[in-house]
Structure 1
Amino acid sequence: MPTMWLSDSQKVGVAFCSGGGFFLLGGVMMFFDRAMLAMGNILFLAGLTLIIGLQKTALFFARRQKLKGTAAFTVGILLILFRWPLIGFLVELYGIFVLFGDFFATIAGFVANVPVVGPYIAVVLEKVSGISRGGELPV
């Protein structure tokens, strides 16, 4: 299977991000299990750092227009660790939408190619991001 242009550390980062997503999904399915949500957050942040590097990760979270999302994401993680998993997850979800909202249009373009359900998911992602297919991309 071709691995395209990813280095070895980026491949590990993709695995960590995927594992973090699965742990977050499992934590939600287990009625907001605090340990699974915390592990998902740790894996996601470690994977993101391995994919784009430590300096770029710090610059991404420290951008002026992303500070509200960074604060919400951090407070959400802390609330999960301080035994408020439902409220912490909701605050963290808001932070994720603010931080990664620019990428939803790009993700929608890839998801639209998935058979059967892809076009429906793409429409939802485009509505959430507020960018139409013919509109300008955030890049």
Structure 2
Amino acid sequence: MAYEITEQKKIGIGLIGFGIFFSLLGVILFFDRGLLALGNIFWLTGVAILLGWRSTLKLFTNQAYYKGTISFFLGLFFLFVRWPLVGIILEIYGCIILFGGFWPSVKVFLNHIPVVGWIISYLF
């Protein structure tokens, strides 16, 4: 396998998974603020653990990604001031801008997983 998965990276992936789960549950339950906030906390912590604290700080403060960073944190602010629909839309846009360069790496990683890799190679 091309990628080494350490225990720390497993924890980061798990936290990102919990963050996505709680965010989706918050959206399903009519934009419940508590679940959305919990999902964001898990997701941000998971990204920081997976990438490393310095790399995460560099990612969010990189001049090329200011648009995504401002959009993401503005969405987080709108989530906390009880405008969850606007907040989620801004956060999704910010994530697409911030993590758009990671999609090819994610695709290569997913191709190495037995069942998921077969599905991805069949669809794309």
Per the normalisation by structure 2, the TM-score is 0.82
Query: Equivalents in 2 of 1:70, 1:107: separation in Å?
Result: 21
Structure 1 residues 39-118: aligned runs within 5 Å: 39-109=38-108, 110=110, 113-115=117-119
Partner of 1:127: none
Equivalent AA in structure 2 for residue 100 of structure 1: F
Per the normalisation by structure 1, the TM-score is 0.74
Count of residues in correspondence between the two structures: 117
- The answer to whether the aligner puts 1:13 opposite 2:12 as a matched pair is yes
Query: Equivalents in 2 of 1:119, 1:83: separation in Å?
Result: 42
3-state SS of paired residue (2:30): coil
Segments of 4+ moved more than 6 angstroms: none
Query: Please, what is the CA RMSD of the aligned residues?
Result: 2.0
Which runs of 5 or more structure 1 residues have no equivalent in the other structure?
123-139
Deviation at 1:59, TM superposition (A): 0.4
**More relative contact order, 1 or 2 (CA 8 Å, 6+ apart):** 2
Q: Percent identity?
A: 33
